[in-house]
Each structure stands twice: as structure tokens, then as C-alpha cells.
Amino acid sequence: MTPEKLTYMANQIATAFARQPEDAAVTAIADHIDAFWDPRMRAQLIELAEAGAPDLSPRVAHAARRIRRPEAA
């Protein structure tokens, strides 16, 4: 998946939780991604966040630290 598409999808999830307080939203974003994204998508999002991708919402970047890291293949 392209980094742009992955960023768009992650930011959409953050928008869905925009009205929640910061910590609750970050937890909900991480939980949603853990539950519904495949391991490759999670790994790619974590890499984008760690690289400081400028288009990721701040809440997604924060949530990326809580996302379950996929096991190495």
C-alpha cells in the first residue's frame, strides 16, 4: 500500500475519534488499527510514524507507539 493511502486511512480513523479526550482517542486509534489492520499495514504505519511522516495526524503518530508490532517473518 502506498504511504499516502495508509496515511489517509489512519487519519480517517483519528477523525472518527476527534471528539474524545487525547488519551482515550490515542488508545482507540491504536486498538482499532490492532483489530482491523493486517500486520504489514501496521508495520508500515509504525515505520512512517518513526520516520516522522509529516502528514500523519499527531494522534496517529502518538497511537503508533501503542500499536502491536507484528512479529518478524
Q: State the average pLDDT over residues 14-31.
A: 97
Sequence-distant (≥ 6) Cβ neighbours of residue 21 within 8 angstroms: none
Percentage of the chain beyond pLDDT 70 is 97
Domain residues of the chain, as ranges?
3-64
| Residues 34-68: tens digit of each pLDDT | 999 999 999 999 999 999 999 999 999 999 999 99
Q: State the average pLDDT over residues 6-18.
A: 98
pLDDT exceeds cutoff 80 at 72: no
The confidence score (pLDDT) of residue 71 equals 84
Sequence-distant (≥ 6) Cβ neighbours of residue 55 within 8 angstroms: 4, 7, 11
Task: Give the residue ranges of DSSP H helices in the chain.
Answer: 3-16, 22-36, 39-50, 58-64
pLDDT exceeds cutoff 80 at 11: yes
